Structure 1
């Protein structure tokens, strides 16, 4: 089992795809996730202080694997190799794949088509983020791709919710899903911290 696949199995059933409003929000979520023993978190690079947020999670959750998401260029990949446990991209880049191998960084590229899947497989990848999953066909698309590519594993992300994530997890080729719904907003934390803690503990109980 390669490192990327280990990351997905560790993250199951849901990898939090985390975009925070500010550093205080990131700190509060890291403390919540630590108490709930969330095993894996993807911190997206969608905020100017995202790298500081990655450090917050690394400091507060030393037992977890903390990854960097939305990595789209060489500079981000090299920094992620130093500061995170794994890297996720919304698409596939051969350059990023080469850098990941050179830096021994677990890398999960994104794919949306069979052609992208084939290009990534040519770079020895077998573990993928399927993005944006719901918008490009959802469960039906993953079923269709899994037939000609039976040895690949997916983490569908995008449009995944409490109402449909089990449909994805029922597929043999899906190791986990990526979800933002399990990352509470600041308002939600203030209103129902206990409720979110209970939900997370239940989700990862198995």
Structure 2
């Protein structure tokens, strides 16, 4: 594996589920990250889908010592630079482009790019990346599709995201080419809006129990 893959895997530290978070209210970021960390999910992905996402990243990094914060929905080099400057420990993209690969190659921050098709996987592999996001997982064929990729792409590992839930996460984690899964079910919108941090901590503990077979 590449050194950046090693860095990323050390940050995730065997965590089976990576919470994928869309922060609508920046005031929720810190208590949400604290609840997830208490439940065992220290590594989180805050997506750049809202205006306050970068501020949320900065706040969590500054106030939640246990949290390991990554930035998601990175679409171009400008996003990559903004997320890295905000202090993100890892960067997640829904796809892979040449421009994004160049930006990542010039940065110490590891990139987890999305790849679904064999061509996209080969492009990432040629760039030295062997740990990839598989998105949108369920819509692209789910666990059966990922299982079919294991033989032709030996050595490539995935983090399926998109449609992954408490009900199907175990089927992904049972695959030899899956390291972890990403999902938002551990931080439901209604519980975040209600400030039910204890409930979210409980969901995080359940997700932590979904260990690799």
> SS of 1:26's equivalent?
helix
Deviation of 1:11 after TM superposition, in Å, equals: 5.6
Deviation of 1:56 after TM superposition, in Å, equals: 1.7
Which structure: greater helix fraction? 1
Once residues 201 and 41 of structure 2 are traced to their aligned partners in structure 1, the CA distance between those partners, rounded to angstroms, is 10
Do the aligned partners of residues 18 and 71 (structure 1) sit closer, same or farther apart at CA in structure 2, a change above 3 Å counting? same
CA RMSD of aligned residues (A): 2.0
CA deviation map 1:131-155 (0-9, x unaligned): 0000010001101111100110100
> SS of 2:124's equivalent?
helix
Q: Does 2:97 align with 1:93?
A: yes
Deviation of 1:92 after TM superposition, in Å, equals: 0.5
The corresponding residue for 2:8 is 7
Q: 1:152 aligns with which of 134, 148, 156?
A: 156
Do the aligned partners of residues 188 and 52 (structure 1) sit closer, same or farther apart at CA in structure 2, a change above 3 Å counting? closer
Once residues 105 and 151 of structure 1 are traced to their aligned partners in structure 2, the CA distance between those partners, rounded to angstroms, is 22
Q: Report the count of equivalent residues.
A: 206
Do the aligned partners of residues 44 and 156 (structure 1) sit closer, same or farther apart at CA in structure 2, a change above 3 Å counting? same
Do the aligned partners of residues 60 and 191 (structure 1) sit closer, same or farther apart at CA in structure 2, a change above 3 Å counting? closer
Q: 1:71 aligns with which of 74, 95, 109?
A: 74
Deviation of 1:91 after TM superposition, in Å, equals: 0.3
Do the aligned partners of residues 161 and 66 (structure 1) sit closer, same or farther apart at CA in structure 2, a change above 3 Å counting? same
Q: Does 2:177 align with 1:177?
A: no
Once residues 33 and 81 of structure 1 are traced to their aligned partners in structure 2, the CA distance between those partners, rounded to angstroms, is 22
The corresponding residue for 2:198 is 194
Once residues 118 and 7 of structure 1 are traced to their aligned partners in structure 2, the CA distance between those partners, rounded to angstroms, is 20
> SS of 1:154's equivalent?
strand
The corresponding residue for 1:47 is 50
The corresponding residue for 2:120 is 116
Q: Does 2:60 align with 1:80?
A: no
Once residues 58 and 196 of structure 1 are traced to their aligned partners in structure 2, the CA distance between those partners, rounded to angstroms, is 19
List gaps (5 residues or longer) in structure 1: none
List gaps (5 residues or longer) in structure 2: none
The corresponding residue for 1:163 is 167
The corresponding residue for 2:61 is 58
CA deviation map 1:18-44 (0-9, x unaligned): 012211222331232243342200000
Once residues 197 and 141 of structure 1 are traced to their aligned partners in structure 2, the CA distance between those partners, rounded to angstroms, is 32
- 1:129, 1:155 within 8 Å by CA — same for their partners in 2? yes
Once residues 39 and 193 of structure 1 are traced to their aligned partners in structure 2, the CA distance between those partners, rounded to angstroms, is 15
